Structure 1
Amino acid sequence: MEVDVAILGAGPAGSALAALLSCNPLTKSLRIALVDTCHPAAVPSELPPHSDPRVSALSPASIELLRTVGAWRALAPAAAPVCDVQVWGSGGSGHVRCSAASVGSSVVACVLETQLLVAALQRRLRAAAAAGGGNGLRLLLPAAPAGAELPPYSPQAQLEGGPLTRVRLEGGGTLQARLLVGADGACGSLVRRWAQIRTLGPGPGSQAEAVELAATVATAWPLQTAFQRFLPTGPLTLLPARNGAAVQWGCPPQMAHHLAGLPPHELASAINDALRAPPHPPAAAPLTSLLGGFFEGPRSSRFVEPPAVVDVIGAPVTRRLVEQHAGGLGRYVRPRVALIGGAAHAAHPLAGLAGHNLSLADAKALAKAIATAVEAGQDIGSAALLEERHERPRRRTNGAMLAAADSLRRLLQPQAGPLSSLGSLGLDVMSALPAAKQTLMRLAMHGA
């Protein structure tokens, strides 16, 4: 089968790219194949009482993308708004609390179950495929790639793309594509491996390796604030969610698996102890005392105690946290190949935000690059086009997000000895400076 665009990975990034291409007048006539080993996702006729623990916090920009492709109407009733973000550590009294209003928005994000997001996008894709008679858009779900042949690097391929890519499918069959898109995740992306694009970041077994525990919980009162506390073992986040709240706890693998095995009441107690316990006094005198009381004035926003977790609903799940950037400095393309989403980058999200937002922004940028090429009569697999229209703008934004998230984590992660109060001081600085708080909020909302 010969297609114009073959997308491997039907998660949020891949499904969003296919939806954007299928609804744009410039690209809706392209032959598109969406390939994934998973079966098609479906929006249930009736939502279960509580949300799935795997959630996404979608920024206003991501919500607008979903409106563009016609998927948001079905998702809006299940979305929980986030109006404020509060970040603090386990040592000292420093904290930062910012609101969406500070950057001129009604919400920071809306929290939604990731499986519902994917299901709504795929429902739009099935409708588009039916409207086109199956000639323009093909959903190969499930289908397993078995291997690929990519055009070699050459001056001609750099400008024109070169021979088509060939993807072999298990059980027989071959896809030939003018553009192969890797949206197949951070861990073990086949497209990234076939393209021989390396990643920069800690690997499995390294000291930086962490696992995230995700759980759906009931809280003492409803919340519209994203709470995040930086602990010695890693960040703990409490997010609003449909009919409850979502916990995301990054910690060492052994600790995460131990927590996942606790009875619900013990896990709830562990979350409360970690989230609501008073901050430990720093081992050394606070560095703020050296600044002549600069931070002794009234705070721009008071600290709000997070609600107590009163129950854990359903079974928690765990996943390995990955922090990496394709190509080290952000190499996302080669002739007839482009990476988006986790295949290109993965970062620790701030207060549960910015993860899927970056992936959806990747999909939007690549869809725009393809539309520009079609309008100009260019080859959509040209590496020069993909570099200029997709890689460079996304590398700049994603690289800044990864660097900022890593710097923030290093600043706020509790330190030992004389450095124990640095995190609290950093939070004090951000809380005292409106511009710093607005930067933090924009980082959380948009990843830029």
Structure 2
Amino acid sequence: MTTRPRYDVAIVGGGMVGAVLAVALSEADFHVALVEAKQPKSLDPEAGYDLRQSAIAPGPRRLLENLGLWDRLPDNRICPFTGMKVWQADQDDELFLEHTAVGLPELGHIVENALVVDAAWQAFERVDVYCPAKMAALNVEAQAARLTLDDEQEITAALVVGAEGANSPVREAAGITTTGWGYGQRCTVGTVTPERHHRHIAWQRFTETGPVAFLPLADGRCSLAWHADDALADELAELDDDEFCRRLTEASGGVLGRIQHMGTRAAFPLKLMHAREYVQPRVAIAGDAAHVVHPMAGQGVNLGLLDVAELVAALEAGRAAGADAGEITYLKRYQRARMADNMMMLAATDGLKRLYGSHNPLLRSLRGLAISGASRLAPIRQIMISQAVGLSNDGPRLLR
């Protein structure tokens, strides 16, 4: 069995949250190991868009800028959006949130997840990478956590972080329980070519079976997120591209004209999940390992990147006080900083899903009033935008 030097932090999971966390901790002079099952694919700048796209808010973007990762992203694959338009299929009122309400040049950027992952992996100068490798066992001892990998290598670290997604082996091995439920819906994603330009606006139309959202892409096309009840999702999966485009044009109310082309598409199930705790002695979880939200608000990745900023801040505070990275006192500081905010977002997206997914006539009336009221009251619109962009002057240093 190979003996490895002790690390400050060993991260399991090299996706967006895990990879960015590895860069952030290494830049903060922590000794970091990263364990990942599969090497990320090299990106061809001439290839089509990846299916997974995220709306990166200004706060998390600042984190990426402070780590030098934002400048590594190719400009021609990033699209700023300056407004969000939300409306209900059977109502005339619409809610339009625009960047001028908070004095920003944009509300966020649509970015392929794979681009951020690639940028982070290219910045691993001071990160020891174990790939391909999987965690086979986790043992927590008084002075260290011990990871055994599937190739029998052993890693010891003051702290092990699970950032390997909703089915986190680290979370399971640590005995951290979760609560949550499925929504009986799937989200169909892909790149669509509309008849009209998106005008750098994110569009979302609520229908009885779920919202249809278009996110603007740099070349004038849109990234589709069509949330549909399982029965409809099954039906959509069987359609050829021409019929799918016709149905999508109808479901979107033709807001961007006729949908002319649909690229490769895929669908994934929607659920809510929240861990009952984010930390234990020498163990922490972050990103989807800790929380999974309904994607209608587009906040999943942003929440994970905010986790990164707060976890780094907590570990830096512990080090300044002479504690190692696995000290529970400072890990709980991270949990306090993130759990309440994440629970608020989970509750908000769950409430929206239930409000807009209900066939109850009273709720149908209330959701129309909600859009109508928010569209007429500027202070409400400004509060909604401020929450969405994720900027704070008194937060952790990586967000400032």
TM-score by length of 2: 0.91
Per the alignment, in what secondary structure is the counterpart of residue 181 of structure 2? Answer: coil
Does 2:139 align with 1:149? yes
CA distance in structure 2 between the aligned counterparts of 1:31 and 1:22, rounded to whole angstroms? 6
CA contact (8 A) 1:51 1:242 kept: no
Q: Is the 8 A contact 1:401 1:447 kept in 2?
A: no
Percent of matched pairs sharing the same residue: 31
Q: Within 5 A, what are the aligned runs for 1:50-199?
A: 50-77=48-75, 78-125=77-124, 128-129=125-126, 137-151=127-141, 162-186=142-166, 188-199=167-178
TM-score normalised to the size of structure 1?
A: 0.82
CA-to-aligned-CA distance 1:114-161 (integer Å, 9 cap, x gap): 111111111111xx23xxxxxxx211121111121124xxxxxxxxxx
Q: Which amino acid aligns with 1:240?
A: P
Question: Quick one: structure 1 residues 366 and 307, their matched pair in 2 at CA, closer, same or farther if it must change by over 3 Å?
Answer: farther
Cα drift, residue 254 of structure 1: 4.0
3-state SS in 2 of match to 1:385:
helix
Q: How does 1:259-408 map to 2 (within 5 A)?
A: 259-276=236-253, 305-313=255-263, 315-327=264-276, 331-351=277-297, 353-388=298-333, 390-408=334-352
> Judging changes above 3 Å, is the alpha-carbon distance between structure 1 residues 195 and 150 closer, same or farther for their aligned structure 2 residues?
same
- Cα displacement (A) at 1:210: 2.1
Counterpart contact for 1:338–1:386, Cα < 8 Å: yes
Instruction: Confirm or deny: 8 A CA contact 1:181 1:191 kept in the other structure.
Output: yes
Q: Within 2, Cα distance between the matches of 1:40 and 1:71? A: 16
User: Where is the strand percentage greater, Structure 1 or Structure 2?
Assistant: 2
Task: Give CA deviations for 1:169-222 in whole Å, capped at 9, x if unaligned.
Answer: 112111111101010111x1111111111111104xxxx232211010111122
Q: Rg larger in 1 or in 2?
A: 1
Deviations 1:82-114 (A, max 9, x none): 110011122322321110111221111110111
Over the aligned positions, Cα root-mean-square deviation in angstroms equals 1.9
Which residue pairs with 2:383 in the alignment? 439
Q: Give the CA deviation at 1:17.
A: 0.6
1:33 aligned partner:
33
Q: In the alignment, which residue of structure 2 is the partner of 1:215?
A: 190
SS at match of 1:426: helix
Output the amino acid matched with 1:147: A
**Is the Cα–Cα contact under 8 Å of residues 84 and 108 in structure 1 kept in the other structure?**
yes
Task: Report how many residues are paired.
Answer: 385
- Residue 236 of structure 1: aligned partner: 212
Task: Write the distance in 1 (CA, Å) between the matches of 2:368 and 2:196.
Answer: 28
Q: Deviation above 4 Å: which 4+ runs of structure 1? A: none
Q: Flag the 1:312–1:254 CA change in 2: closer, same or farther, 3 A.
A: same
CA contact under 8 A between 2:317 and 2:330: conserved in structure 1? Answer: no
The offset of 1:418, in angstroms, is: 4.1
Preserved CA contact (<8 Å) 1:88 1:94: yes
Structure 1, residues 321-354: CA drift from partner, whole Å, max 9, x if none?
Answer: 2311111xxx110100111100111112344x32
What whole-Å deviation, never above 9, does each CA across 1:221-265 have from its counterpart, x for those lacking one? Answer: 221111112222222111002321100112233432432332211
